[in-house]
């Protein structure tokens, strides 16, 4: 419908990504090997296709920033992101000490892309022997329940891309998921207190490597949105959302 309107100009813009958040305060995902088992079990292409319906609307990418963010974009961790090895997943799960405990996943149909990814995730985890309890409720309940570390193991949440990879809430130990990594904390400090942008960006590879080793969250890929505007609109920009202050209409 949008493409058929001759008065509209359409752009495909990536400004956010979904994240599978592990509860690292209680339960099996306090074990790094269990998080790595999930990463090995997940086929990110299947998850993204279920969420967005067409390759036109997602980018299967591992990085915490977009490719055009020069200096911060890193290939480090891409091999881990692309693991998808069920035998390895089963080995890591055994190493973690998993013994058939229920894995509670919080989901809501009110966020269709996250819900669809959750359904695929459930199937993928069951394929390696995990006992999954998918709890579906309204979004408000999910947002409330996820603050209680004793009642869930996995949930999804979207995150807008940030200027630097250290700026995501899930890296904060007080945010649900409860990340606790001395290495990530030290690298965050190194980046934030670097003398120049170039000095800070020198840590990009190391930060991505540490991220994909520790796995505070699992990032399947990037979401692509459609932005439509009338012909004659000039100066529109989009980063983590629309930037309108330089927009003008050229009739």
pLDDT at 11: 80
Q: What's the pTM? A: 0.91
Q: To 5 degrees, how large is the angle CA 104–CA 184–CA 175?
A: 45
Structure token digits, residue 204:
């990009």
Note the pLDDT tens digit of each residue in 68-77: 899 999 999 9
pLDDT at 2: 61
pLDDT at 114: 96
Note the pLDDT tens digit of each residue in 19-48: 999 999 999 999 999 999 999 999 999 999
In sequence order, the 6+-apart residues with CB closer than 8 A to the CB of 118 are 105, 107, 134, 156
Residues with pLDDT less than 50, the chain:
none
Distance CA 135, CA 115 (A): 11
pLDDT at 9: 76
User: What is the widest separation between alpha-carbon atoms in the chain?
Assistant: 67
Give the homologous superfamily in CATH for domain 14-232: Dipeptide-binding Protein; Domain 3 (3.10.105.10)
Distance CA 126, CA 182 (A): 32
pLDDT at 23: 99
pLDDT at 4: 65
Domain boundaries, the chain: 14-232
Q: What is the dihedral of CA 105, 109, 110, 114, to 10 degrees?
A: 60
């Amino acid at each position: 419908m949008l493409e058929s309107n001759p008065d509209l100009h359409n752009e495909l813009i990536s400004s956010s990504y979904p994240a599978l958040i592990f509860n690292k305060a209680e339960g099996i995902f306090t074990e790094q090997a269990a998080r790595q088992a999930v990463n090995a079990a997940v086929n990110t292409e299947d998850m993204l296709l279920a969420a967005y319906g067409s390759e036109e609307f997602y980018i299967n990418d591992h990085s915490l920033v977009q490719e055009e963010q020069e200096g911060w974009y890193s290939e480090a961790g891409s091999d881990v992101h692309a693991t998808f090895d069920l035998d390895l997943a089963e080995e890591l799960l055994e190493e973690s000490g998993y013994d058939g405990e229920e894995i509670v996943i919080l989901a809501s149909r009110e966020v269709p892309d996250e819900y669809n990814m959750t359904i695929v995730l459930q199937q993928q985890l069951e394929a390696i022997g995990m006992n999954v309890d998918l709890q579906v409720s309204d979004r408000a309940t999910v947002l409330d329940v996820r603050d209680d570390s004793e009642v869930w193991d996995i949930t999804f949440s979207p995150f807008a891309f940030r200027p630097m990879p250290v700026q995501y809430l899930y890296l904060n130990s007080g945010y649900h998921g409860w990340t606790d990594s001395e290495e990530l904390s030290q690298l965050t400090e190194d980046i934030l207190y670097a003398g120049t942008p170039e000095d800070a960006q020198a840590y990009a590879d190391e930060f991505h490597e540490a991220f994909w080793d520790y796995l505070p969250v699992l990032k399947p890929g990037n979401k692509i949105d459609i932005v439509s505007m009338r012909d004659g609109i000039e100066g529109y920009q989009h980063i983590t959302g629309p930037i309108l202050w330089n927009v003008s209409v050229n009739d």
